[in-house]
């Protein structure tokens, strides 16, 4: 197993045109890794996608919001049929996002996480928000399959839970981006906890605060 520690690096030789001495655990020491990865971008299936997504950064730098970037990217990729896999907790946001996409000329196919309406008990989920009551399970596999059936060209994930998003990515075969992630505590802005990790969120970021079973 190889270990990499870019998050602890202070050299950032990767961002310099002329590279200096690489840190001992730098991924760039593995030439085969870097060269074989680079070769993937020239594949037909990736080339336009990669270049377009990279150029979006410069075209709307600090001007286009994430949602605008998604639309500009989709337009340049000739994606017309957009899938929206969203969480029930963000259903109002999903309605607004779908409206904005439609107003900008896209077809929007949307599937909510609770589709199927299957009780969590049936899936073996023990810890529920409301124990002893019917609670529909989230169904990211069905979301992925439904959007596949609908033939979406590009998908947007909006507010799926930790792990449910992973399953959606596992089961979809369509390129997918994320508009927002689920974070019930921070208004779906998980970096708020990171920015305040030495302040208001300090104790809530510790797994030994008594809130972990
Ligand atoms: S790639 Fe190398 S130089 Fe860049 S952050 Fe990682 S360890 Fe540092």
DSSP codes, 130-189? STTS--BPP-HHHHHHHHHHTT-SEEEEESPPTTHHHHHHHH--S-EEEEE---TTTTS-
* Extended strands (E) in 36-95: 81-86
Ligand 1 close to Cβ of residue 34 (< 6 A): no
Please give the Cα distance from 124 to 119 (Å, whole number): 9
Q: How far is the CA of 7 from the centre of ligand 1 (A)?
A: 8
The pTM is what? Answer: 0.95
Judged against a pLDDT cut of 80, whether residue 186 lies above it is answered with yes
Mean pLDDT computed over 8-31: 97
Ligand 1 atom nearest the C-alpha of 4 is 7
Which of 12, 18, 24 is the best mutation target for the ligand 1 pocket, counting ligand atoms within 8 Å of the beta carbon and taking the most? Answer: 12
Question: At the fourth CATH level, which superfamily is domain 65-182?
Answer: Diphthamide synthesis DPH1/DPH2 domain 1 (3.40.50.11840)
Ligand 1 close to Cβ of residue 33 (< 6 A): no
Ligand 1 close to Cβ of residue 14 (< 6 A): yes
CATH 3.40.50.11840 in the chain, residue ranges: 65-182
Judged against a pLDDT cut of 90, whether residue 213 lies above it is answered with no
Q: How far is the CA of 6 from the centre of ligand 1 (A)?
A: 5
Judged against a pLDDT cut of 70, whether residue 212 lies above it is answered with no
Dihedrals phi, psi of 109, to nearest 5 degrees: -110, 120
């Amino acid at each position: 197993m190889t270990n990499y520690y870019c998050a602890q690096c202070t050299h950032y030789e990767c961002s310099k045109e002329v590279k200096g001495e690489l840190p001992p655990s730098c991924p760039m020491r593995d030439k085969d890794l870097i060269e074989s990865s680079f070769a993937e971008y020239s594949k037909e299936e990736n080339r336009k996608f990669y270049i377009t997504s990279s150029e979006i950064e410069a075209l709307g730098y600090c001007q286009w919001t994430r949602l605008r970037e998604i639309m500009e990217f989709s337009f340049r990729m000739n994606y017309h049929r957009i899938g929206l896999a969203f969480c029930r907790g963000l259903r109002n946001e999903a309605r607004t996002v779908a409206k904005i996409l439609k107003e900008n000329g896209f077809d929007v196919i949307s599937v909510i996480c609770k589709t199927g309406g299957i009780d969590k008990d049936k899936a073996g989920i023990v810890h529920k928000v409301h124990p002893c009551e019917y609670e529909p399970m989230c169904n990211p596999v069905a979301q992925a399959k439904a959007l596949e059936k609908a033939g979406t060209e590009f998908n947007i994930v909006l507010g799926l839970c930790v792990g449910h998003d992973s399953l959606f990515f596992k089961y979809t075969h369509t390129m997918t981006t994320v508009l927002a992630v689920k974070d019930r505590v921070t208004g779906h802005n998980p970096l708020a906890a990171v920015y305040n990790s030495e302040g208001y969120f300090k104790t809530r970021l510790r797994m030994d605060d008594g809130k972990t079973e």
